Amino acid sequence: MFETLPQPGLDGIIALMQAFAADPRMGKIDLGVGVYRDEAGRTPVMQAVKQAESHIVATQESKTYLSLAGDPAYLDAMEGLLLGGAVPQARVAAVGTPGGTTAVRQIAELIRRARADATIWISAQTWPNHAPLIAAAGVKSRPYRYQDASSGMLDRDGMFADLAQATADDVVLLHGCCHNPTGIDLSVQDWSDMGAVLDRTGAVPFIDMAYQGFGEGLNADAGGLRHLAARLPEVLVAASCSKNFGLYRERVGLAMAIVPEPQKPRLAGALASLNRQNFAFPPDHGGRVVSTILNDPALKHIWQSELDSMRARVAENRRALADALRSETGTNRFDVIARQQGMFSLLPVTAEQVESLRADHGIYMLSDGRTNMAGLNGQTVPVVAHAIAQVIA
Ligand code: LMR
C-alpha cells in the first residue's frame, strides 16, 4: 500500500531543530524555533504553572470526558484574556484545540465549510506553517505585502493596496501581535485603518494570537483584536498559550468565532463538530493550568511578573544586538531590530549567508534570516554580531 507514499518535506523550523540537535559543536547557538530561553539558555516551566499544576494534582478528582469544546473555565478565562470585555459573551463561540496550530487548521476548515471558494489573504512574510495548514484544509491563500525590504519597516501602502482587493468572500489573516517572522506590528492607527478596509470590503479578519504579552503587554497586544471585534460583525481567532504560559508541548490552543448574537449557536456547533471529526476532545491539562492561573489573583500576579520579565529580556536582547551590529558593521542597517517586537526579526541576510553562519559559526536561524531574539544572551550577542558582520562583509 505504501510503496508510492510521497515522503513529505519537513518545514524549515522542524528541519532546523533536528539539524541543531545533531550538531556536536560545543558553542552552537540556536536562534531557530520560537521558544523563549532565559539567560542560561533554558526554557523553564514557569513558577505560576508549577503552582497551578500542584493545585490540580492535589484537587482533581476525575479525568473523564468534558464537552467537545473543552473546559468552560478555560474558555471563559481565555475569552477574558483575549477580548477584555470588548464584545458581549453572547457573540463569542470558542472551543479548545491542541495548540494554536490546530486552532489555525480548524478555523481554515470552518472557512471552507462556510464558503468553499474563499481565499485567505496571508502576509507575504508569515509563519512558515500558515500556507501549508490552509492548503491542507482545502482553502486557497494569497499573499499581501507586509515588510518593505529596503527599510525593514511595514509596507503600509502596499499592504492596504493589496487588501483593498479582498472581497466579502475572503478572509484576512493578521498576526495579533509580535508578527512572526518580521517583528513588525500594526500601530493603533494601522488597526483602525485595517478596520475601515475590512468594513469596506466585507472581508473577515482572522487573528492569529500566538505571542500575547511578548510585545507591549497583555492588554496592548490584544488592542487590535479588540478594536476589530468591537467594530466588525465577524472576527475569527486562533490563540496559543505555548509561549506566554510556556506550555509548548502541552498543546493549549483556542479557536474562536465572534459573530452576531443569533449566529453564536451555529458557530459553536460547527466548531464542536470540527473538534469531533479531528480529535474529539481537546487536551485538558494545559488549559486547566491556564484557567487556574487566570482565576487566582495571586497566581495571576506571579504569572504576569514572569511574563513581564520575559518580555523585558527579549526587548533588551534586541537593543543589545542592534547596538553590537551597529559597531561591528559601522552601519545603521540593523537598527530596526530594536524597534521591532516579539521573538522574531527577519535579518537582512541571504540564504547563503545564513548557511555560512550555520556551517562556519554554528549559528542557527531560518534560511530567510528569521532570528529568535529570545535565544540570545549577554555572551552570545557579541559572537552573533561579529559572525553576521563577517558573513555579510
Ligand atoms: C515557531 O514559529 O518557531 C513556533 O511557533 C514553533 C512552531 O510550531 O513552528
Distance from the alpha carbon of residue 177 to the mean position of ligand 1, in angstroms = 15
Q: Where in the chain is the domain with CATH 3.40.640.10?
A: 65-295
pTM above 0.90, yes or no: yes
pLDDT exceeding 70 applies to what percent of the chain? Answer: 100
Predicted confidence at residue 376, as pLDDT, reads 97
With pLDDT > 90 as the criterion, what percentage of the chain qualifies? 98
Stretch 112-137: mean pLDDT, rounded?
97
Confirm or reject: Cβ of 70 under 6 Å from ligand 1.
Answer: no
Print the SS3 string covering the chain: CCCCCCCCCCCHHHHHHHHHHHCCCCCCEECCCCCCCCCCCCCCCCHHHHHHHHHHHHHCCCCCCCCCCCCHHHHHHHHHHHHCCCCCHHHEEEEEECHHHHHHHHHHHHHHHHCCCCEEEEECCCCCCHHHHHHHCCCEEEEECCECCCCCCECHHHHHHHHCCCCCCCEEEEECCCCCCCCCCCCHHHHHHHHHHHHHHCCEEEEEECCCCCCCCHHHHCHHHHHHHHHCCCEEEEEECCCCCCCHHHCCEEEEEECCHHHHHHHHHHHHHHHHHHCCCCCCHHHHHHHHHHCCHHHHHHHHHHHHHHHHHHHHHHHHHHHHHHHHHCCCCCCHHHHCCCCEEECCCCHHHHHHHHHHHCEECCCCCEEEHHHCCCCHHHHHHHHHHHHHC
Q: How many angstroms does the Cα of residue 248 sit away from the middle of ligand 1?
A: 10
**Segments of the chain assigned to CATH 3.90.1150.10:** 12-45+311-392
Mean pLDDT for the chain? 97
Atom of ligand 1 nearest to the CA of 181: 2
- Pick among 3.30.43.10, 3.40.640.10, 3.90.1150.10, 3.90.650.10: CATH of 65-295: 3.40.640.10
243 is catalytic: yes
Known catalytic residue: 191? no
Q: How confident is the model at residue 11 (pLDDT cuts 50, 70, 90)?
A: confident
Instruction: Locate 150 and state its grid cell.
Output: 529596503
What's the rounded Cα separation, in Å, for the pair 388 and 363? 10
Cα 99 to ligand 1 centre (Å)? 11
Q: What are the tens digits of pLDDT across the range 292-321? A: 999 999 999 999 999 999 999 999 999 999
Residue 17 Cβ contacting ligand 1 at under 6 Å: no
Q: How far apart are CA 34 and CA 375, in angstroms?
A: 9
Average pLDDT over residues 81-91: 97
- Mean pLDDT, rounded, for 93-102: 98
Give ipTM to 2 decimals.
0.94
208 is catalytic: yes
Active-site entry in 127, 162, 264, 268: 127
Task: Identify whether 300 is a catalytic site residue.
Answer: no
pLDDT tens digits for 226-265? 999 999 999 999 999 999 999 999 999 999 999 999 999 9
Select which of 208, 229, 257, 270 is catalytic: 208
The model's confidence at residue 10, banded by pLDDT at 50, 70 and 90, is confident
pLDDT digits (tens, 9 = 90+) for 351-367: 999 999 999 999 999 99
Give me the pLDDT at residue 374, please. Answer: 97
Homologous superfamily of the 12-45+311-392 domain (CATH): Aspartate Aminotransferase, domain 1 (3.90.1150.10)
Region 182-197 average pLDDT:
98
Please determine, for residue 130, whether its predicted confidence score (pLDDT) is greater than 90: yes
Residue 273 has pLDDT above 90, yes or no: yes
Q: Which atom of ligand 1 is nearest to the CA of 127?
A: 2
pLDDT value for 291: 98
